[in-house]
Amino acid sequence: MILSGVVLAVLIGWLRGGKIARLADLKLRGLIWVAAAALVRLGLDLLSRHGYSLPWLMIVAYCLVFYVLFLNIRLPGIKLFTAGTLLNFLVIAANGGTMPVSATAIKEAGLSSTPAGTHILLSETARLPFLADIIPLRPPYFPFPQVISVGDILLVCGIFLFIQYKMLREEEPAAAVAGKK
């Protein structure tokens, strides 16, 4: 869903007269920690495929992401992105480092596989089930079938706002930039 949200945001920004080239100058602080979180997540997925369960690593990855969000909280869209990330973190932390996924939603989305890795089937014992992956997305309403959470929706809305801001912002006059130095 995140990739589709980014593509849609860029397309709408461009249709609104925004400049794609402005996305090259994101000015986000702490991006190295996002890369570290992504590596932890990738490692966690690879380990779980080989039978190793280290769900606390998911908490570590989220802590790294929260640090970067804190550094950039004043940028447009980041507060909404943070809210979505926090909702996902809460349900994952409450369920031992795994995200519950609704079997009904999997079926309604047209998916046939059961969750693996950092996802588990939603059960009666799941904590905060209303924050779990319970919303099915399927064609023709969405290009790729998947199951998402409320947190995912907020997260993508935050990304959308941030991309719109970056693509449509006015360039700072040279005098203003020189005055800041």
Q: What is the DSSP string of 3-54?
A: HHHHHHHHHHHHHTT--GGGGG----TTHHHHHHHHHHHHHHHHHHHTT---
Chain Cα centroid distance, residue 29: 17
What is the β-pairing status of strands 135-137 and 146-148? Answer: antiparallel
Q: Where are the alpha helices (DSSP H) in the chain?
A: 2-15, 31-49, 56-71, 78-94, 103-108, 150-168, 174-180
Confidence of residue 175 (pLDDT cuts 50, 70, 90): very low
Confidence of residue 127 (pLDDT cuts 50, 70, 90): very high
Encoded tokens for 125 = 């014992």
pLDDT digits (tens, 9 = 90+) for 24-76: 888 899 999 999 999 998 888 888 778 787 878 888 999 999 999 999 999 99
> What is the pLDDT at residue 172?
57
Q: Average pLDDT of 134-148?
A: 88
**pLDDT value at 156 more than 80:** yes
**pLDDT value at 111 more than 70:** yes
Residues 158 and 85: their CA atoms lie apart, in Å, by 10
Domain boundaries, the chain: 25-172
Residues in the chain: 181
What is the β-pairing status of strands 99-101 and 119-121? Answer: parallel
174 Rama class: left (phi>0) / alpha (psi -120 to 50) / beta: alpha
The set of residues, in sequence order, having a beta carbon less than 8 Å from that of 81 and lying 6+ positions away, is 69, 154, 155, 158, 159, 162
